Structure 1
Amino acid sequence: MKVLVAVKRVVDANVKVRVSADHSGVELANVKMALNPFCEIAVEEAIRLKEAGKASEVVVVTIGTSAAQEQLRTALALGADRAIHVTTDAELVPLSVAKLLLAVQQQEQAQLIILGKQSIDGDNNQTGQMLAALGKLPQATFISEVEMIDGGVAVTREVDGGVQVVKLPLPAVLTTDLRLNEPRYATLPNIMKAKKKPLDTVTAESLGVTLKTHQQILSVTPPKARQAGVMVDSVAALVDKLKNEAKVI
């Protein structure tokens, strides 16, 4: 079974994001970039499936500029077998990403496609669902447990009321939640080996996908700074402020 894992280059989760001076986006110059945390979980799960003998190959794919190859090498160092880089300088929205991933899936004929449930930059939580819809593939989102069964996969999903167990035929699309696993760290020997693993570069045109502009960002602004709190000396004073100043009661 071949597993295809989609990964994304994002601003490191430990970096305090600043809005650019022209309010067109966030400041990326000299900012530390990293593999999206939910994508790390997806890569880890695919590697665990291979280690358990359930998968024969783990292929990672990303879409973006040449700088995104750094994150592909990170995924290769974690244990993926090879990587595919879809090159583009365009500002991508989830629908465009889903179309490109579907083209890669059709080319690779992977039986299992795993994505993080969302990226920490856009927080859209849309790409996996759109990919499944475009490819008419069964899907399970917010998964916290995966078990391969005869002819398919059984997953545990986290839902509002608790958990839900779903069985899917293959090929299928899965999106990972935080509690699925704890990603490993790349060891120095594996980092060195990753430099020699195959990394193929393709374009949207070679995949037969025409990218269109589906939305336009008008402006990006930071949230208002929180005001300092005040200390009150009694419950009556607290109730008065909640009622007359905050107007929440």
Structure 2
Amino acid sequence: MEIIVCVKQVPDTTEIKIDPVTNTLIRQGVPSIVNPFDKNALEAALQLKAQYGGNVTVVSMGPPQAKEALKECLAMGADKAILVSDRAFGGADTLATSYTLAAAIRKLDKYDIILCGKQAIDGDTAQVGPEIAEHLGIAHVTFVAKIAVEGHTAKVEREHEEGYEVLAVKLPALITVIKTLNYEPRYPTVKGSMKANRAEIAVWTAADLCVAETQLGLKGSPTQVRRIFTPPQRGQGIVIQKDTVGEAVDELLAKLTDAKIV
């Protein structure tokens, strides 16, 4: 079984900074991590490999520093890593990003399952995974909590607002996963880390992918950020302390009435 995992190196969410001119993330000097949901996807891939055999390839689009994220994935047990990196990819929205990643996956040629985290913590759009599937013309299932493979079919349990639904999807397919699929992805081993440090990570540019430049980066991004601002902090709420629940409720109702909310 050939499994591809799409991963993203993201800024630590406590350290996010925005360029006020370009409205894009400032990555220089900002601590970066592997997107946590992508680690769940990688763990799922490694478990599928252990159960059914095959290879796990991780693919990421980003600046050269994203190699560190890929090395961590190799240390966890991935077999191969590819970085898609080119200045032409800069400023890409989800459509341009998914177009580029789909081109890289198409270049890899062989795959049975593509796994992605449900979303990246820096953008929270949950769009890239499904868009990759659309570019490749394959089926996709999102927010998956369980995966089992039977022949050329994957049976998955998908979470939604009212519970779960069980679906069968013909392979090849793309699946985005949620944290409950595996709460604690494995840690890199010492042996794996040593191997990862020696590994050569292939870097593919726009020329390697044979893609249309008009669909890359800012040029290929129909979504444009017009303004970014930090919302004002909310004031601290009122804490009502009474001897009984009934007294606290009466006090709350009185305050809501005075404020003409009820």
Q: CA deviation at 1:24?
A: 3.0
Which of 210, 226, 236 pairs up with 1:208? 210
Q: What's the secondary structure of 1:114's corresponding residue?
A: strand
Q: What's the secondary structure of 2:234's corresponding residue?
A: coil
1-side partners of 2:141 and 2:17: how far apart? Answer: 34
1-side partners of 2:93 and 2:53: how far apart? Answer: 30
Q: CA deviation at 1:29?
A: 4.4
Q: Deviations over 1:74-128 (max 9, x none)?
A: 1111100011111033112111121122212222221110001100000000011
2:6 aligns to what? 6
Which runs of 5 or more residues in structure 1 are unaligned? Answer: none
Higher deviation after alignment, 35-44 or 133-142: 133-142
1:159 aligns to what? 160
Give the conservation status (yes or no) of the 8 Å contact 1:112–1:172: yes
1:81 aligns to what? 79
Q: What are the residue-to-residue correspondences of 1:55-70 with 2, within 5 Å?
A: 55-70=53-68
1:137 aligns to what? 138
Whether 2:38 is the aligned partner of 1:24: answer no
Whether 2:38 is the aligned partner of 1:36: answer no
Q: What's the secondary structure of 1:195's corresponding residue?
A: helix
**Structure 1: which amino acid aligns with 2:112?**
Q
1:96 aligns to what? 96
Q: CA deviation at 1:219?
A: 2.1
2-side partners of 1:96 and 1:55: how far apart? Answer: 33
Give the conservation status (yes or no) of the 8 Å contact 2:95–2:221: no
TM-score normalized with structure 1 length: 0.90
**Structure 2: which amino acid aligns with 1:43?**
L
Q: CA deviation at 1:156?
A: 0.7
**Structure 1: which amino acid aligns with 2:234?**
R
Give the conservation status (yes or no) of the 8 Å contact 2:4–2:113: yes
Give the conservation status (yes or no) of the 8 Å contact 2:56–2:79: yes
Q: Aligned in 2, Cα 1:56/1:120: closer, same or farther, shift over 3 Å?
A: same
Q: What's the secondary structure of 2:255's corresponding residue?
A: helix
1:228 aligns to what? 236
Q: What's the secondary structure of 2:69's corresponding residue?
A: helix
Higher deviation after alignment, 112-121 or 194-203: 194-203
Aligned Cα RMSD in Å? 2.1
Which of 218, 222, 233 pairs up with 2:226? 218
Q: Deviations over 1:149-177 (max 9, x none)?
A: 02221111101221111111111000011
1-side partners of 2:33 and 2:25: how far apart? Answer: 15
Greater Rg over alpha carbons, structure = 2
Which runs of 5 or more residues in structure 2 are unaligned? Answer: 243-247
Q: Aligned in 2, Cα 1:248/1:141: closer, same or farther, shift over 3 Å?
A: farther
**Structure 2: which amino acid aligns with 1:34?**
I
Give the conservation status (yes or no) of the 8 Å contact 2:98–2:131: yes
Q: CA deviation at 1:28?
A: 4.0
Q: What's the secondary structure of 1:206's corresponding residue?
A: helix
Give the conservation status (yes or no) of the 8 Å contact 2:24–2:91: no
Give the conservation status (yes or no) of the 8 Å contact 1:81–1:197: no
1-side partners of 2:111 and 2:7: how far apart? Answer: 16
Q: What's the secondary structure of 1:4's corresponding residue?
A: strand
1-side partners of 2:12 and 2:145: how far apart? Answer: 23
**Structure 1: which amino acid aligns with 2:221?**
T
Q: CA deviation at 1:31?
A: 2.5
1-side partners of 2:63 and 2:195: how far apart? Answer: 23
Equivalent pairs counted in the alignment come to 246
Q: What's the secondary structure of 2:185's corresponding residue?
A: coil
1-side partners of 2:249 and 2:61: how far apart? Answer: 55
